Structure 1
Amino acid sequence: MITLDEIEYDHQKNLRNFEKHGIYLTEVIHFEWESSIDKPDDRKNYFENRRISIGYIKHRLHVLVYVKRLTKIRVISLRKANNREEKKYAAA
């Protein structure tokens, strides 16, 4: 687990993420990294090394998009996993 001191995020994006997905970016502190699957986010050229992880937060699978910085993790997006992503996680 990580702490709030170890993450960074845009405060306006945090509010928009809650409006769109029903979860605040700060909930990433409950993300179960040990059992997550993680891969580079190569859907586009983002000019940074984005990662996508699928893992549990409080008994529900979530999808996390983030960038690892020197001492922090910048959270870009966090939402509940859809059926396709749940199947992908189960198959891993």
Structure 2
Amino acid sequence: MALPLDFDWHDGKAASNQTKHGVSFEDARQVFLDPRRIDVDASRAVDGEERRKTTGLMAGKLLSVVYAPRGNVVWIISARRANPKEIRSYVQS
């Protein structure tokens, strides 16, 4: 299935995320195809940039992806396996 959005990221950040969390940004894009995904505000007052966190399934794994919407582009910031609180929220939705 084709992704309905355009994605981008910093290559260095993608490499460090893969090393730290074992999740590639390429794979993380698939979370946006999950019709049950949960999307919440994840902005930080420190930098003023709008950030979102979406939690959804990718190949049977529940992932949380932090991103910044930039016009028509989803700028991926980080991706990791969902924590227990995120798993509960997803299951209860």
- By the TM > 0.5 criterion, same fold? yes
SS of equivalent to 1:54: strand
SS of equivalent to 2:48: coil
In the other structure, the counterpart of 1:65 is 66
The answer on whether the counterparts of 2:28 and 2:63 sit within 8 Å (CA) in structure 1 is: no
* TM-score, structure 2 normalization: 0.85
- Structure 1 residue runs of 4+, over 2 Å off? none
Count of aligned positions: 90
1:29 to partner: Cα distance: 2.7
Aligned-partner residue type, residue 70 of structure 2: R
Please give the alpha-carbon distance, in whole angstroms, between the structure 2 residues aligned to 1:70 and 1:85.
Answer: 27
In the other structure, the counterpart of 2:13 is 13
Structure 2: segments with no counterpart, 5+ residues: none
Structure 1: segments with no counterpart, 5+ residues: none
Q: Identity percentage over the alignment?
A: 24
In the other structure, the counterpart of 2:91 is 90
Q: CA RMSD in A?
A: 1.8
